[in-house]
Structure 1
Amino acid sequence: MPAPSITFDGLPSGARIAIEAETGPILRIENVCAGLNSSLSAFVHTTGGVVFLKGLRADHRWVWTQQREAHINPYVTPLAPRLLFHVIADGWDVLGFETIAGHHADYSPGSPDLPRVTGALRELASLPCPGIELRHAEQRLANYVADAADAEAFAGNALLHTDWNNHNVLITGDRAHLVDWGWATRGAAWLDPAHWIIWLIAAGHTPPAAEESVALLPAWTSAPPRAVNAFAHASANLWEEIAGSAPDDWTRHLLDAARLWQQHRSNRS
């Protein structure tokens, strides 16, 4: 479930004062619709520029994702926007990032953004996985595979983003930037292209066309077909769990895409 949304002015005074101590005087606030992983989402306009804020209550069950983003940021810039500060005050945990002016990636067939996203995938694959605490792909997906042994194929030492929602990909000029690193993971390098395939299918690609979009990525060419089949199966089960008994339209759409890819992989086996 999404975290409950709050505006900047709705924060406790202690949190607002602590943020303004980092940003300098705030001239204007632009609240935006919070994402699935944050309650606060706002641009604050200051004398020094514009800062993007994202935050959660300090007792929220996902607040650890804030710390994860803070820890990983030095290792993933400039692919990701630079973290300017991390404030924990008056019951709130807030990150302040440099603002990247761009648009959310368009994943639809024929979109000019697609080569930029594959460029980001290549750039990410070239980054070493930092020696910080990260979740492991084989552990994250262990409950969704048909056979527990299948999850071992997801193990690896590559740095993965794992959440390829197009709202997490900002296009500026000729490149793509990745935001929202709270679910960064250590695992097999081919998993990020595999995660993206489901979003491509949801955006209107057929499963073969979605796979063709990642076909030239070195990370993807190393993927064992049986392991990809296991991942497609696990992803369908994961999205079924996320959807629950009464999914909204957005979640149902992703579940349908995951099932479509799973069926495609099953037909190829």
Structure 2
Amino acid sequence: MSTIRVPYEKLPPAALAAIEATTGPVLSTESPAEGLNSAVAAKLHTATGTYFVKALPIDHRWVWTQQREADVASYVRSVAPALIAHTVTSGWNILIFEALPGRHADYRPGSADLPKVADLVRRVGELPAPRIELRDATQRLAAYVSHEADLQHFAGDTLLHTDWNNSNVIIGDDTRIVDWGWATRGAPWLDTAYWTIWLIAAGHSPESAEQYATHIPSWQAASTAGLNTFAAANARLWTETGGDHPDPWTKRIMTAAQDWHEYRQSRPSRHTDK
């Protein structure tokens, strides 16, 4: 699912000039290992401050995620970095964000970050749903349910992030989440459920991961059938993504999704239907 990374300096001169018209002259750059959905992802150090740039070629199959991030940015300012500029030039779609100080969240059992992330999941779930075009959870998961009627569990009008990879969560003076390109509209408990898979991937048992989830109010809106359907759908999704020879990163998430699905199959009564 990753995109071939292009060094920031390899952008066309006109694109570099357009970026520096906003940031000022770039003194140095850093390219993170994470965030491989962007062809260009770089932290820029300038005389006026530090910025984060994401860019994709305009003919890339995921370039629509750049527009989605731009569209949603003003609605998620309380939980995400500020969008400074969005420009399309020289065949590139470019987003310039404020660079968040801090580090990636630690999801491992016992981490002091876990209550902070749980609070962030809650805060995201309380954001008003913007009246802009968003993907719908029922559409995103339609190919992975056994029966079309099961999709009703995922329907809703809540703004969802859907990618709770710990590298998207920045722990600093505040806890915030980046990479809103897959913003989705759906049931209020779905982001908590997505986070549950990442907790399992970080070493939690399914039971322990669900215990963290219970601290988030939206989780209480989920039914047993809804959670079982979601866990099964994600097990299928990640199995399809991994294929016969998944890379280690994908294998870890694929195994977590499968483990959660098996847990919910074996103990379906652990969440009470509403």
Cα distance in 2 for residues equivalent to 1:181 and 1:2: 16
Alignment of 1:75-224 (within 5 A): 75-173=75-173, 175-224=174-223
CA offset at residue 63 of structure 1?
0.3
Supply the AA of the counterpart residue of 2:50.
V
| RMSD (CA atoms) | 1.0
Aligned pairs, number: 268
Equivalent AA in structure 2 for residue 150 of structure 1: D
Amino acid at match of 1:198: I
| Structure 1, unpaired ranges of 5+ | none
1:108-135 CA distance string (max 9 Å, x none)? 0010000000110111111111000000
Q: Is the CA contact (8 Å cut-off) linking 1:2 and 1:36 kept in structure 2?
A: yes
Give, in whole Å, the separation in 2 of the partners of 1:104 and 1:29.
Answer: 19
8 Å CA contact retained: 1:34, 1:40 = no
Structure 2: which amino acid aligns with 1:209? S
Contact 1:88/1:94 (8 A) holds in 2 = yes
TM-score of the superposition, structure 1-length normalised? 0.97
Task: Give the CA deviation at 1:94.
Answer: 1.1
Cα distance in 2 for residues equivalent to 1:199 and 1:264: 15
Match of 2:252 in 1: 253
Q: Percent identity?
A: 51
Cα deviation, residue 18, structure 1: 1.1
Taking the aligned partners of 2:17 and 2:183, their CA distance within structure 1 comes to 30
Which residue identity is paired with 2:261? Q
After superposition, the C-alpha distances for 1:139-189 in whole angstroms (9 at most, x for unaligned) are: 10010011111112100010100000000000013x320000000000000
CA deviations over 1:172-225 (Å, ceiling 9, x no partner): 13x320000000000000000000000000101000100000102110011011
Deviation of 1:263 after TM superposition, in Å, equals 0.4
Structure-2 separation of matches of 1:260 and 1:8: 39
TM score, norm. by length of structure 2: 0.96
Cα shift readout 1:77-128 (whole Å, capped 9, x = no counterpart): 1210000001211111111100111110000001000000011011111111
Amino acid at match of 1:84: I
**Deviation per residue, 1:13-66 (Å, 9 max, x gap):** 111111111112222222333523101011111121011111111110000000
Q: Which residue of 1 aligns with 2:272?
A: none
4+ runs deviating over 3 angstroms: none
Kept in 2, the 8 Å contact 1:145–1:233? The answer is yes
Q: Aligned partners of 2:31, 2:254: CA distance in 1, in Å?
A: 30
Q: What is the alpha-carbon distance in structure 1 between the residues aligned to residue 8 and residue 78 of structure 2?
A: 27
Structure 2 runs not aligned, ≥5 long: 269-274
Q: Secondary structure at the match of 2:106?
A: coil
Task: Give CA deviations for 1:234-255 in whole Å, capped at 9, x if unaligned.
Answer: 0000101110121001101111
The letter of the residue matching 1:236 is A
